[in-house]
Amino acid sequence: MAAKSFKLNTGADIPALGLGTWQSETGKVKEAVACALKSGYRLIDGAYCYGNEDEVGEGLAEAFASGAVKREDVFVVSKVWTTYNTRVELGLDKSLKSLGLDYVDLFLVHWPLLMNPDGDHDKFPKLPSGERDIIRDYNHVDTWKQMEKLVATGKTKAIGVSNYSKRYLEQLLPHATIVPAVNQIENHPELPQQEIVDLCREKGIHIMAYSPLGSTGGPLLTAEPVVKVAEKHGVKPSTVLLSYHVARGSTVLAKSVSPERIRANLEIINLDSEDKKTLDDYSSSLAAEGKLHRYVYPPFGVDFGFPDKS
Ligand SMILES: NC(=O)C1=CN([C@@H]2O[C@H](COP(=O)(O)OP(=O)(O)OC[C@H]3O[C@@H](n4cnc5c(N)ncnc54)[C@H](OP(=O)(O)O)[C@@H]3O)[C@@H](O)[C@H]2O)C=CC1
Ligand SMILES: O=C[C@H](O)[C@@H](O)[C@@H](O)[C@H](O)C(=O)O
């Protein structure tokens, strides 16, 4: 049977599957969260930047009130947004207030850079040129030192990072008193990121895979090798794409606001060695052709050290 959960370096369990909420429209995300929890999900992934944590909180409250789940049975994730990277406790407080919670299970550094906290917008400050207003001489390690202080407050059970390349992790780890519990990265057969996955495994950092379907519209659902494995098992391509991560020992996040797809995404199967080879060969052939595909790369204009974008 496919794993249902994994152990973090804190000793806590983290579910193998979570519901994503990026781009989940207000008006739909409350129902999505409540539906997911009532259907068996035990992890909800959110962020201040998504602008919908109030509604995520309403969905959590509805699921708690229905008796379907208790707070302690749900793993709630939030992330500090880049304009708050010098004010991480304030960022966490704002998320907790929106979510209606007194703690999250995991709080992540969303991206390793600082956008101007005194700029012209709370989340996306811009320069007169229209570019994002980024403080270029800021060291992301300073954000981590603030994150470490949060653990003692009890407002988060664990801390981690997101969008950290091998280069950035190697800058961070020598200064870390607390090793990140998680690195949340874009990950799928078109972007296997094996070098980061291997480094994280060696350091005891759990991978959370985002955009497993290729993000908006799920472009990976029609990739030929994915369809082939799905047909072999008589399952949907989405099941193959989600199961790929669980087979690699990672947690996977799938976003949907459709109750039918939320429930369908619960199906995780065991992939055998032939399936894994089919998907790995697909990754290798894309790499050889220089066609690895990163679907999420916001216009920060910063080199984050990912080999496909450096
Ligand atoms: N740390 C970070 O920087 C990032 C984190 N994330 C996290 O990871 C989560 C997942 O990644 P995300 O980029 O949203 O994309 P996903 O790869 O989860 O794909 C979501 C898209 O696929 C559709 N979809 C979902 N399930 C199915 C299905 N079974 N069949 C067909 N289509 C389906 C959704 O539409 P519909 O809703 O209509 O079903 C939506 O258009 C995010 O929501 C977020 O929580 C994502 C990106 C960056
Ligand atoms: O988590 C999802 C993504 O990282 C998202 O937060 C960013 O892409 C953001 O919309 C941006 O434009 O910088």
Q: Flag whether 7 is in a domain.
A: no
What residue numbers bound the domain in which 31 lies? 13-218+250-267
Give this complex's ipTM.
0.99
Q: Note if the pTM is more than 0.90.
A: yes
Ligand 2 midpoint to CA 78 (Å): 13
Half-sphere exposure of 297 (CA within 13 A, CB side): 15
1 within some domain:
no
What is the per-residue pLDDT for 263?
98
- Domains identified in the chain, total number: 1
245 is a domain residue: no
Structure tokens at 27: 């008006």
- Does the CA dihedral 156-162-168-170 come out positive or negative? positive
In a domain, 86, yes or no: yes
Q: How far apart are CA 295 and CA 216, in angstroms?
A: 9
Q: Which tokens is 111 given?
A: 């991206």
In a domain, 5, yes or no: no
The answer as to whether 42 is a domain residue is yes
Binding residues for substrate: 110
First and final C-alpha spacing in the chain: 39
Domain assignment present for residue 237? The answer is: no
Q: Which-ligand-closest: CA of 216?
A: 1
- Average pLDDT of each block of 10 consecutive residues along the chain (310 residues)? 96 98 96 98 98 98 98 98 98 98 99 98 98 97 98 98 98 98 98 97 98 98 98 98 98 98 98 98 97 97 92
Q: Residue of the nearest CA to atom 13 in ligand 2? A: 298
Ligand number nearest to the C-alpha of 53: 1
What's 17's domain CATH number?
A: 3.20.20.100
Active site residue 168: no
228 within some domain = no
